[in-house]
Amino acid sequence: MKFYRRWQPVSALTFDLDDTLYDNRVVIVRAEQQLLDWLASHCPPMEAFSWALWQDIRQQVMEQDPRLVGFVTEIRRAQIKFAATRCGLSDFAAQQLANDAVEFFLFERSNFSVPDEAIETLAALAANYPLLAITNGNVDCDRLGLTPYFMHVLQAGPDGKAKPDLAMFTKAKHLLDVDPENILHVGDHLKADVRGAKLAGFKACWINETKQPLTKQRHATLLPDVEISHLSQLLTLTRAV
């Protein structure tokens, strides 16, 4: 644990989800491959699509509709619809395929178990602090068993623009009814989580699992208040106040 600012007690905590409570990279890689297999079976011409082509289509749909930026589910839906029309499907059929594909993907991207360390840490903290989740992702907290620990789960799209935009942090502050300087936001991403939290007036806890110091991080623009390497260190941090 490393402190970058003098520590003061907090009254509430907010959490990023992906790559903070669990390793989302492994989950997404698996779900992405399952989605590609599903698409190939439901629209055979897509089997020939390269990864580079999928990325190019993704970029095209965001350029066509900049409002999609930061809304990962709707980007994926638009991407698949675009690809389906490129394969010759009608607009209606392409939209239906995209909707079914997104439903399949959302199921698979939440088809995993949260590590015991994360669950135990959340349970201990929730007994003493109000907790709230702020995520740019689309994981299903009900399926993962995370919902009981959070007063609210805020998601980019329905609840505002993606972090580091201040929209969800501002909404979290109002829901918690706590002054921002008394809220600790916990996350792995130096731009989305640390920068977003600090610009919103929150304290920021950076989970550093990279084994590289802050000075080596390319997204480091604002100092967190504290750095930890394991989620369970939050229990020591909160007991210390």
Active site residues: 16
- Which tokens belong to 46? 């897509």
CA angle 194, 199, 205 (to 5 degrees): 25
CA 208 to chain centre: 16
Query: CA 84 → CA 1, 52, 97, 114, distances in Å?
Result: 49, 16, 8, 34
The answer to whether 196 and 163 have CB atoms below 8 angstroms apart is yes
- Which tokens belong to 14? 């907010």
- What is the SS3 assignment for 114? coil
CA angle 142, 145, 146 (to 5 degrees): 85
Of 188, 212, 228, nearest in space to 7 by CA: 228
Stated as kind and residue range, the H or E segment containing 187 is strand 183-187
* Contact partners, residue 167, CB within 8 Å, separation at least 6: 159, 160, 161
